[in-house]
Amino acid sequence: MADTIFQLRSLPFFSTHHHHYACRHSRSRIMASSSTSPSLKMTHDGCPKNKIPHVLSVAGSDSGAGAGIQADMKACGAAGVYCSTVLTAVTAQNTVGVQGVHLVPEEFVALQLISVLSDMNVDVVKTGILPSIGTIRVLCEKLKEFPVRALVVDPVMVSTSGDLLASPATMSTYLEELLPMTDIVTPNLKEASAMLGDVKELQTLDDMRSAAKAIHSMGSRYVLIKGGHLKDSADAVDLFFDGERFHELHGPYIDSQNTHGTGCTLASYIAAELAKGCSMLQAVQEAKNFIGKVIVHSKYMVIGSGQQGPLDHLFHLKNHSSGMIKKRFNSDNLLLYAVTDSVMNKKWGRSIVDAVKSAIEGGATIIQLREKEAETRYFLEMAIACMEICRSRDIMLLINDRIDIALACDAHGVHIGQFDMPVMKVRNLLGPSKVIGVSCKTPEQAHQAWMDGADYIGCGGVFSTTTKENNRTIGLEGLKTVCSTSKLPVVAIGGINGSNARSVMEINDPNLKGVAVVSALFDRESILEETHHLKSLLLHS
């Protein structure tokens, strides 16, 4: 039977697989904690209520803080997960290279593992460099003594130059003792080849599939082979294998010298998402999306004089190209999403600026400029003026379709349709700090938008509307279906006004954050009054 290849498919995280440990199997550890903390409340499966997701990184220290333990901690922090550490090695390194390595004695690695695992309710363990047979065996022993929910293995065994960092005996122990306990292993092309005995260089997707199958047969429950440097590929293609099906995860290849620590970061972000309860494939996709954004954001950052710089995991360092600091998208801003219309502005004798100003004064929480008939020069002038107003009121301004206008006026982002430029291309042009919304009618389109790295979706038309001809409506049931499956916040659009806005919000799905309106605001005599009235309805629905 031919192998099946999927772009994306959700997989359950928990299983009865022999090496996969759920929180309920750690009852002795949790009960020991509760005996010292009488006030600690437990859920039905023995886990503490309100537990903070926790990843333990077992890896080496990078003094330059680009990779290793330091990258793991930053990646987990970016994902909103606590990260504790066990050091296996201490390196002296910078952006130029590695100047020295000191291995931590195995006995002390064991002591660190006991200290953390016996006390701190670890959900997921992620490994980096494991430099000796003894270190690997100590880790395996402690994971059996203190079982955790999942084990993520980043097989740091090959240097950037291609040299093998592990002896044959260490490699053998790695494969025979650690891999059968592993939930997911994340080798790059060189590491995958080394794990297979350097049979050949992996150059094609078919090579990656064969390697994934072979590595899976060694015991790891899932395999992710990173093909970022795959020859003859315009995309960065990673291959995920669940033992039955292949999933090709595509992303744009980003040419940047600031890529030090991407492997550590990817594995740690996967671990963090697993700790939060994601399925394995969802965790992998979230990690890939994050890596793409952080590489784009870090592209022009200059730290050190070497050829491989670090990443800005938290998006808080200044971007050299723009001096901008990433502003996180707040989905609550979608509550009353006002979309301007050039025909309506002409009908009522208003400028774009006047319409936007009135909508903001009335309580609009986000503005989209959709000006199909405006000339480019005039549209840009108006967009720049609207940006000044929106900045002064701390309101986000998005541009519909026109990426050139969004770039020229430094808008907060864009909204695109199904037949516009792909999200990943838009992201490459705008960078990670900008917001991207996508129009969707189906769960499949919403899932693709999430997979491609969009920030929200506009779902509709919910009802029939005069602003778009031949626009198929999906009704409240269609909206509810998309919202219930979406991994992104949703704003409903299409024929929504004061008479039906409440019924839209009363589908009561947590992903539905608000409504987008056009004629209900801008085809009225008083935009301010209509906006104020609709805002009041939404707040009380």
Active site residue 226: yes
Active site residue 261: yes
Could you please report the per-residue DSSP string of 402-424? -HHHHHHHT-SEEEE-TTSS-HH
Contacts of 39 (CB under 8 A, 6+ apart): none
Picking from 432, 370, 373, 378, the residue whose alpha carbon sits closest to that of residue 401 is: 370
Active site residue 88: no
Active site residue 460: no
What interhelical angle do 280-298 and 262-275 show, nearest 10?
140
Q: Are 402 and 379 in contact (CB under 8 A)?
A: yes
66, 228, 263, 461: the catalytic one is 263
261, 494, 495, 514: the catalytic one is 261
Q: Where are the alpha helices (DSSP H) in 276-332?
A: 280-298
Q: Token pair of 496, please?
A: 């929504």
Active site residue 259: yes
226, 357, 441, 513: the catalytic one is 226
Nearest-angstrom CA–CA distance, 11 and 280: 6
127, 173, 259, 467: the catalytic one is 259
Q: How many residues does the chain have?
A: 541
Q: CB count, 10 Å around CB of 7?
A: 11
Could you please report the per-residue DSSP string of 106-126? HHHHHHHHHHHHTTS---EEE
Active site residue 140: no
Residue type, position 87, single letter: L
Q: What φ, ψ does residue 283 adopt, rounded to 5°?
A: -60, -40
76, 264, 386, 390: the catalytic one is 264
Q: What would the 3-class secondary structure string for 256-284 be?
A: CCCCCCHHHHHHHHHHHHHHCCCCHHHHH
Residue with tokens 């294998």: 241
88, 91, 170, 262: the catalytic one is 262
Please give the C-alpha separations between residue 505 and each of 16, 334, 361, 495, 541, in angstroms, as whole numbers. Answer: 40, 12, 23, 14, 7
**Catalytic residue ranges:** 226, 259, 261-264
